[in-house]
Amino acid sequence: MLVYQDLLSGDELLSDSFPYKELENGVLWEVEGKWVVQGAVEVNIGANPSAEGGGEDEGVDDQAVKVVDIVDTFRLQEQPPFDKKQFVAYIKKYIKTLTAQLDEEKQEVFKKNIESATKFLLSKIKDLQFFVGESMKDEGSLVFAYYKEGATNPTFLYFAHGLKEIKC
């Protein structure tokens, strides 16, 4: 199994069990998330409550919770939304910090394509949710989520160059 860690914070942000599609010449990865129900276990013990004088609602209180699989699995922490000015300030700092961590070949590809990726994200800024890894480090990568038109499950966007592949 492969796990993808944030190159800057070390937080686990993704694994190969969530397939991705490359966008913006490989600078962004797009991953489909899913809403899942967690904590609800339906156990049929063969009893018939109505025959035993019990009501339909008698029994264990259902503690089911709906969560997004990627957010839950990697313990992503949602952040307040950015406006365009805040996002541009973040992205400038992120590009500078991340570029210093990349080898020359990756730096070239990243620098060449980050502008189009930034424009793509800015075009969706009002629809994006912002997440950071579990450690909530300021200098770490952001993970973005939005709902495509008509979709009931969120789509996540990652900066591919900000991820480090780890074999488990």
Distance CA 168, CA 157 (A): 23
Distance CA 69, CA 12 (A): 14
CB 128 within 8 A of CB 145: yes
The pLDDT of residue 50 is 57
Distance CA 92, CA 94 (A): 5
The pLDDT of residue 82 is 95
pLDDT in tens, 21-42: 999 999 999 999 999 998 866 6
The pLDDT of residue 27 is 96
Q: What percent of the chain has pLDDT over 70?
A: 86
pLDDT in tens, 129-139: 999 999 999 88
Q: Say which amino acid occupies 147.
A: Y
Chain centroid to Cα 168, Å, comes to 20
pLDDT class for 145, splitting at 50, 70, 90? very high
pLDDT in tens, 90-129: 999 999 999 999 999 999 999 999 999 999 999 999 999 9
**pTM, full prediction:** 0.86
2-37+70-167 maps to which CATH number?
2.170.150.10
Find the helix or strand (DSSP H, E) in which 136 lies: none
Q: Where do the domains of the chain lie? A: 2-37+70-167
